[in-house]
A and B are shown apart, each in its own frame.
Chain A
């Protein structure tokens, strides 16, 4: 399928391995990415906190660009983009008068937002568009005996009503479903749906790092080999800041944090080197060792 692809800011900034992993995985899943390279930051909730009309206009601009492509829908790879954009879309789709006001600002660029854009995170797309059965058929290297802790990021699970989470769309369980489909072992731990702390890292650093440290510690106590997240901002606090979080909570964590496309890529048979694991602050040793043992076992057989 062809999708208008919004990679977000951080995947092209401090987590370039995410952008690369998505590009490597997409063809294996028959996803054609039309990258929205002129689109702008979603505001991550901070721009709407500053000026709601500004945030709504910026995201209407991205949606309008997606609607100009021949993609079936718009896809993102960031929980925070999903949440911040859905919040703006809720207002944009609610009022024709408001849309006219926003579109008048966009008109100088020849853009126009029509209500009802479909914008799905890669996680939602995997389950709802590609389907778990198709995904299962594409698995070349099942994640057998790899113990994976899901970490969603707040913006993709709350508020449930706005994000369309209901009985027919249990989107708050998709990570577990994907890990299971890929052959991995789902780790149940307290932090899976909690906050990584990133939004307050400059305002209340102690509280922020305590969140990251506590959740990673809970995953370690549940004997996770790694944690997987669809959110690069969570990745910043859980991986980039992990050494500081370790110092704060006073325990060694060494918990690898994978981006969702990396985990999918691993199961689809891609080499860890092609998935950018070497760019992580916490080296995913457990995951690389696991891959090597699986490859060695296959060669021996």
Chain B
């Protein structure tokens, strides 16, 4: 048995009192979970501590919290590991972020997480005609979607999402990963409709900031941001959905910019992302950027010559790479989740001798 001190964030919105920290020292074996520690504190010291849990085995997704600032399942985090990551010798446990607190460590999943999941039509819209027996699909496609199906709806990715922190209306990582579960499913009939809705939403597909927070937050390896990038790739390159948020235009402007210049020429990227310097859509944006651009010129950060002339040009060999790959009839994507690495696939000693 070892002693661990848990520092719990307590808050009862109905009390009218502000949140506060409360410490309890519990005794457990180091490999026991933070959840067991919280339940011991609740049993021994204060029955009013609010925590939601059910399976205690990282399957139900009920006990999502933040431990020492990092999101995770309380039942899936060992006490000794949590202590090793602590800066002050205490194990701090807080409710998840981006969702309102109901009490102590319990957040309102309905108000945020489930509402967003519902918004992406989280069920299969079957392709017609429905076959008499089963659909026949590629094995790879189904293995691919099992990654997003592994989601246990714990909300850890939502808790840590940096885009949602500044834009609470953002669809968010869990719901977008759920959407890919159907866009990646060959049996679903409405890939284009799903992607159009997500792309056109001003708080949808193109509000993800590539921060990878959800990738590290997920206790199940769902890789939500990876699924979001797949949604964008399919929306932009397969369905050519030209959304009103400049997602499609920005992506194509960037790729064409590098194809022309070899390096990114930033002076062109902004106007091109809005459809080109002379596009009516670009004009207000360019006017809004003028004071900043002017200041850049005054400071020698941006020189008119550098902005107007292109000092770098892509070599013909580099352009040939773009042409060769972009002209392939089908995009190739190495999905390590499906294929594994060479190292993963090496025969084991027993297989090799068998």
Contacts and interface: CB of A to CB of B under 8 A. Distances in A.
B268 to A, nearest CB: 10
B333 A52 contact: yes
Interface string A75-99: 0000000010000001100111010
A203 B250 contact: yes
Interface in A184-228: 194-195, 197, 199-200, 202-204, 206-208, 210-211, 214
Interface residues of B, number: 72
B233 A52 contact: yes
B340 to A, nearest CB: 8
Given A46-B251, A194-B162, A211-B162, A53 B332 contact: yes
A202 B207 contact: no
Contact of B213 (A96, A158, A206): A158
Nearest to B317: A109
Interface stretch (B14-22, B121-129, B145-153, B300-308): B300-308
Contacts, number: 200
Interface residues of A, number: 67
Contact of B302 (A14, A61, A206): A14
A28 to B, nearest CB: 24
A108 interface: yes
A203 B299 contact: no
B321 A57 contact: yes
Given A49-B232, A195-B211, A244 B237 contact: no
A243 interface: yes
B274 A202 contact: yes
A47 B212 contact: no
Interface string B231-247: 01100110000000111
**Interface majority SS (helix, strand, loop, mixed), chain A:** helix
Contacts of A45: 210, 229
Given A52-B233, A280-B299, A13 B341 contact: no
B326 interface: yes
Contacts of A241: 292
Contacts of B339: 94-95
Interface stretch (A35-43, A263-271, A285-293): A35-43
A47 B209 contact: no
Interface string A144-175: 00000000001100111000000000000000
B206 A203 contact: yes
Contacts of B291: 243
A257 to B, nearest CB: 12
B216 interface: yes
A200 B211 contact: no
A13 B229 CA distance: 27
A278 B209 CA distance: 30
A260 interface: no
Given A10-B264, A202-B274, A279 B299 contact: yes
Contacts of A106: 321
Interface string A40-73: 1101111111111110111001000000000000
A33 interface: no
A204 B267 CA distance: 19
Given A40-B314, A58-B321, A200-B207, 6 more contacts: A9-B264, A12-B263, A44-B264, A50-B236, A51-B233, A94-B336
Interface of A: 9-10, 12-17, 38, 40-41, 43-54, 56-58, 61, 83, 90-91, 94-96, 98, 101, 105-106, 108-109, 154-155, 158-160, 194-195, 197, 199-200, 202-204, 206-208, 210-211, 214, 236, 240-241, 243-244, 278-281
29 contacts: A9-B266, A12-B263, A12-B312, A14-B301, A40-B318, A41-B263, A45-B229, A47-B255, A50-B254, A52-B331, A53-B325, A53-B333, A53-B334, A61-B318, A90-B336, A94-B343, A154-B162, A154-B210, A194-B162, A195-B209, A197-B166, A199-B209, A202-B246, A204-B202, A207-B170, A208-B209, A210-B166, A241-B292, A279-B301
